[in-house]
Structure 1
């Protein structure tokens, strides 16, 4: 690595971000002072300051004057939109949240998922199918693929107790998001899962996220009839 590359604020930012993503520093942790990072990376304090400013603007860390820098507990992920935590969404509506893990398995990425991520070859991924509930009624069914090369820690998460949606929002901020929203008629399998009627108009959300060039997760979520999405960019 050349001196110019080593002293680039972009490379410093990426190094600090990687420390956060690999859980060297977890949600709520206080980061070393800019001076300490400058000594660690062998660069000017102003370079670290510029890197930290970008991380703060992206919603990954929080900077406070005289209070230092901390990793955000609930990353804002401002790159495209704020991904909602379904549990909080249900509770904010005044309903009681419930969650059921239907199945999970490690599989090579399917052709459709490879296309979503623009991958030239299959990668090992964790496929998670789960149902979110509101007042004991089906709310959102999600079929999610998580790249194990990017998010290896997910294999140690008890997804019977915590949804992949909530864990990923809290622990894997993204830098890029592709989002597709549409409605389609419900099928017989939708009716079985969502307790809807065949032909009901169902809201579908397909979302794929990356950190840099590394794929994180690709999701297809189908909501109960009448669902409305509210999010802020």
Structure 2
């Protein structure tokens, strides 16, 4: 058995190949997540993340207490991974930069509580940060992190690593909600993003959970000219 642990994308690709080669056909039930994790020598959470991606892409369907089956009528959907912004910038050939604007423990406003679908009475960590590409504003993040599911983040130096990167690498999720919309830049955001007040911005909101427990929600305002890529 190899000592090298597979990442969730490796697990996803292996299961995908099993479906494409006919090992598991339409309607077939896949092994339990725990059994796949044992076979592939990886964490169960890694398998869960891989299965969620296959479900999001329309290849399998997952039901609570019903297991995972190959869909009899696979559908194709555009899918969006949560990327590490540093990698996203570097893949364009630009130099990545990062500025922490603030990190404070606060009771979230009702709007954030509503996003999580429950009332969060306890404080959460609010992190505001600016990602740069070639020293120019790229993405402005306003993020809330649940300290019950991510208490370790309080010990991190967020001036050295972004909350985005740490969460992607350390906090697998099993549910993701994502919204895209345009919003006019208010003076504060315009100043940070280096644009004029009233300029139309692409805003990406993402919220993740593990089970019923929230992990994080972030409002990412992108600089004019930002391009979003998807895969299908």
Give the TM-score, by structure 1 length: 0.69
RMSD over equivalenced CA pairs, Å: 2.3
Q: Which residue of 2 aligns with 1:210?
A: 209
Q: Which residue of 2 aligns with 1:45?
A: none
- For residues 143-200 of structure 1, the C-alpha deviation after alignment (integer angstroms, 9 at most, x for no partner) is 0000001110110111100000000000001111111101122221122100011222
Q: Which residue of 1 aligns with 2:33?
A: 51
Whole-angstrom distance in 2 between the partners of 1:107 and 1:150: 16
Q: Which residue of 2 aligns with 1:194?
A: 193
Q: Which residue of 2 aligns with 1:69?
A: 42
Q: Does 1:134 align with 2:116?
A: no
Structure 1: unaligned runs, 5 residues or longer? 1-27, 31-48, 57-62
Which runs of structure 2 are paired with 1:81-120 in the superposition (5 Å)?
81-120=80-119
Whole-angstrom distance in 2 between the partners of 1:225 and 1:52: 45
Which runs of structure 2 are paired with 1:143-222 in the superposition (5 Å)?
143-222=142-221
Whole-angstrom distance in 1 between the partners of 2:163 and 2:99: 11
Whole-angstrom distance in 2 between the partners of 1:195 and 1:132: 12
Whole-angstrom distance in 2 between the partners of 1:106 and 1:208: 18
Q: Give 1:53 deviation, angstroms.
A: 5.0
Q: Give 1:201 deviation, angstroms.
A: 1.5
Whole-angstrom distance in 2 between the partners of 1:69 and 1:206: 30
- For residues 194-229 of structure 1, the C-alpha deviation after alignment (integer angstroms, 9 at most, x for no partner) is 001122211101111100000000100101001111
Whole-angstrom distance in 2 between the partners of 1:110 and 1:55: 39
Give the TM-score, by structure 2 length: 0.70
CA distance 1:159–1:201, shift in 2 (3 Å): same
Structure 2: unaligned runs, 5 residues or longer? 7-30, 57-79
What is the number of equivalent residue pairs in this alignment?
A: 177
